[in-house]
Amino acid sequence: MRLYSQDNTELMLVTSLEREGNQLVMKGKVFGSMPITAKLRPDEARAALKLLRPGLVLFLLTLPFRRTKQR
């Protein structure tokens, strides 16, 4: 999975998602070269869920089935 900035440059490449106890561990590279391991704690996951609204939840459910616009 790749995350892009507003100008379509790659910010982060996520290569794996794993469980470590009660945390979600994301491994990847930032800016194409710097390795990173990020951990998502349960309290931060709850905080992220509070940001979701019904319209955004619907969008996220349909996102994998949408086509990517050509650059």
pLDDT tens for each residue of 16-41: 999 999 999 999 999 989 999 999 99
In single-letter form, the type of residue at position 23 comes to: Q
Average pLDDT, whole number, for the chain? 93
Phi, psi of 50 (to 5 degrees): -65, -20
58 occurs within a structural domain: yes
CA distance 52 to 50: 5
Q: What is the pTM (predicted TM-score) of this model?
A: 0.76
70 occurs within a structural domain: no
For residue 37, what are its two tokens? 């391991």
53 occurs within a structural domain: yes
23 occurs within a structural domain: yes
**Structural domains counted in the chain:** 1
71 occurs within a structural domain: no
Q: What pLDDT, on the 0 to 100 scale, is given for residue 71? A: 59
7 occurs within a structural domain: yes
Which ranges in 1-70 belong to alpha helices (H)?
Answer: 42-50, 54-62
Q: What pLDDT, on the 0 to 100 scale, is given for residue 39? A: 96
CA distance 56 to 53: 5
Q: Is residue 69 over pLDDT 90?
A: no
Q: What pLDDT, on the 0 to 100 scale, is given for residue 70? A: 66
In single-letter form, the type of residue at position 33 comes to: S
